[in-house]
Structure 1
Amino acid sequence: MSRSETALEAAQAGADVAMDHYRSALTVETKESKTDYVSEGDVEAQREVVEVIRSAYPDATIVGEEEDELKAVPEDGNAWVVDPIDGTTNFVHEIPLWTTSIGLVRDGELAAGVSVAPALDHVFYADESTVRRDDESVSTSDTTDLEAFSVAPILRYGPDREEAFGSLLTSLLVEFGDIRRLGCAQLTLAFVAAGSLDAAVSALPNPAAWDTVAGAHMIERAGGTVTDVHGDPWEPGCEGIVATNGAAHDEVLDRIGPALEAY
């Protein structure tokens, strides 16, 4: 079984564990803010993911949001980047917009990504040759008219960046057709890859790899473009993320540029 196939198996196994906890009595704690949740579902789902990966690759390097796994992607070698429940706030509030996501990185380059959204009955998957939602091949949208663009702000910003985030939201409302905030970065990026959204934007410095790697890979393989906020090629650890259908990427960067100066 290839690494990408193992990632798919592990994400599905982790999603099954998370789904067992969904809409049930949960033990929930908070991290850096009152809305930055972690539940027993997060922890147990990650343990399941890690067990599946290490049963196939005992020496696997794992970057994971929970517990004691690595928190940054190594520059060399293969790494598995795991988010057991992306969108935990949605998960805790019984909103079905959450995923179990795994991204593969090889010597710093994106290699595969999978996001399983069990409450929506969707599986998004991309390796080096294919991108699909469930059993259907997908690609990014071909929208070029920014007044028709659906753009999604992604990732948590925190109280110290509320004013800057507000500036970005205002810019998105004014400059594009409509905005959607789903509360799950990986699902949002998967929707860009599948053509349901035209772009996703975050100016958050150094966004976590587990929030971005799987979806960034899907978008690039689906025909889109992913850069940092300056338009440079995106990689884990860079400044922000701007992910578009690729048809009007430079125009999107130009439109949001003034708002990004607030960061």
Structure 2
Amino acid sequence: MTPDFTQLSHDLAALCRRTAQFISQEAATFDRGKVEHKGLHDLVSYVDQETERRLVAGLRELLPEAGFITEEGTAGPDAHTEEFVWIIDPLDGTTNFVHGLPVYCISVALVQHRELVVGVVHEVGRDESFRAVRGGGAFCNDQPIHVTDVAELNSSLIATGFPYHDFGKLDDFLKILGAFFQRSHGVRRLGSAAADLAYVAAGRCEGFFEFNLNSYDVAAGILLVREAGGHVTQFLMEGDPLFGREIVASNRLIHAEMQAAIGEFWR
């Protein structure tokens, strides 16, 4: 039987809010000496791992038949074959968390046959719960949110993320960044793709682009942007960005301009 996705979104938001309280408590006394490295500049802490364990346990109660794709692997091997799969980033913005910068999120999405149906991004520092259901709109703390109606890139605020471990396309990225510097109100790097996407959905910026991302970084945010009236693609095509490793999200009106600016330099 198909779940009630709207009710599930509320239950998921409540689980994320409870789990965010654990993150906030740990942030007050966090010891940077307990940080581990998964790869070059790729940090993980016991907070990421324990947050993920708590989320997985709660999600198994909400939808026992679902599989998991998780950043830290606490649910076992990635599961892609089930009808329902949870995609979890327990702490998107770990580097910010480790350094005490208060922009980091819990990001959880549910896919059904690879289609996003429920998404929640809980921005811990501001205690904001962004929630979306396929066909049901997007919300922040249960208030409807929408992308902006800004129609030109030169009147837009753009968010991005910088490469931190794979620098093979750094020169191309810097050229793209320069183009956006010159053609927009400004470019911001918050350090959390989940927050960037939630903020596009909420109308706090008009667009976001980044590459070398994973599904758990963007899954919930993609649904938020779409349900808030925006558009999400890969850099140069309409392909699904969920597993595509690159993403452009916008208020829809500036999307073509964003893709054109990226296309000048991206190969």
TM-score (norm 2): 0.89
Aligned to 1:153: 160
| Equivalent in 21, 28, 34 of residue 23 of structure 1 | 28
| Equivalent in 64, 73, 76 of residue 67 of structure 1 | 73
Q: Does 1:101 align with 2:120?
A: no
Aligned to 1:130: 137
Aligned to 1:13: 18
The answer to whether the 8 A contact 1:113-1:127 is kept is: yes
- 1: CA distance between counterparts of 2:49 and 2:16? 14
Q: Secondary structure of 1:219's match?
A: helix
* C-alpha displacement of 1:6: 3.2
The answer to whether the 8 A contact 1:109-1:235 is kept is: no
- 2: CA distance between counterparts of 1:179 and 1:221? 24
The answer to whether the 8 A contact 2:176-2:261 is kept is: no
Q: Secondary structure of 2:242's match?
A: coil
Q: CA RMSD in A?
A: 1.9
Any stretches of 5+ residues in structure 2 without a counterpart? none
Aligned to 1:182: 190
- 1: CA distance between counterparts of 2:51 and 2:235? 32
| Equivalent in 142, 148, 163 of residue 141 of structure 1 | 148
Q: Secondary structure of 1:259's match?
A: coil
After TM superposition, the structure 1 stretch with the greater mean CA deviation from structure 2, 24-33 or 211-220, is 24-33
Any stretches of 5+ residues in structure 1 without a counterpart? none
Query: Identical aligned pairs, as a percentage?
Result: 28
- 2: CA distance between counterparts of 1:174 and 1:93? 30
- 1: CA distance between counterparts of 2:50 and 2:74? 13
The answer to whether the 8 A contact 1:208-1:237 is kept is: yes
Q: Does 1:169 align with 2:177?
A: yes
- 1: CA distance between counterparts of 2:175 and 2:23? 35
- 2: CA distance between counterparts of 1:238 and 1:72? 17
The answer to whether the 8 A contact 1:171-1:259 is kept is: no
Per-residue deviation, residues 76-96 of structure 1 (Å, max 9, x unmatched): 611111111000011111111
Q: Secondary structure of 1:110's match?
A: strand
* C-alpha displacement of 1:68: 4.1
Per-residue deviation, residues 187-236 of structure 1 (Å, max 9, x unmatched): 010000000010000133xx211100100000000000001112214242
| Equivalent in 232, 243, 248 of residue 249 of structure 2 | 243
- 2: CA distance between counterparts of 1:55 and 1:79? 14
Q: Secondary structure of 2:243's match?
A: coil
After TM superposition, the structure 1 stretch with the greater mean CA deviation from structure 2, 102-111 or 171-180, is 171-180
Per-residue deviation, residues 148-167 of structure 1 (Å, max 9, x unmatched): 11111136442533333322
* C-alpha displacement of 1:70: 6.1
Per-residue deviation, residues 29-84 of structure 1 (Å, max 9, x unmatched): 11211x32111110111111011111232332111101344676726611111111
- 1: CA distance between counterparts of 2:176 and 2:19? 34
The answer to whether the 8 A contact 2:225-2:249 is kept is: yes
Q: Secondary structure of 2:176's match?
A: helix
- 2: CA distance between counterparts of 1:14 and 1:224? 28
- 1: CA distance between counterparts of 2:9 and 2:140? 15
Aligned to 1:116: 122
The answer to whether the 8 A contact 2:120-2:131 is kept is: yes
Cα distance change of structure 1 residues 99 and 59 upon mapping to structure 2, 3 Å threshold: same
Corresponding residue pairs, total: 258
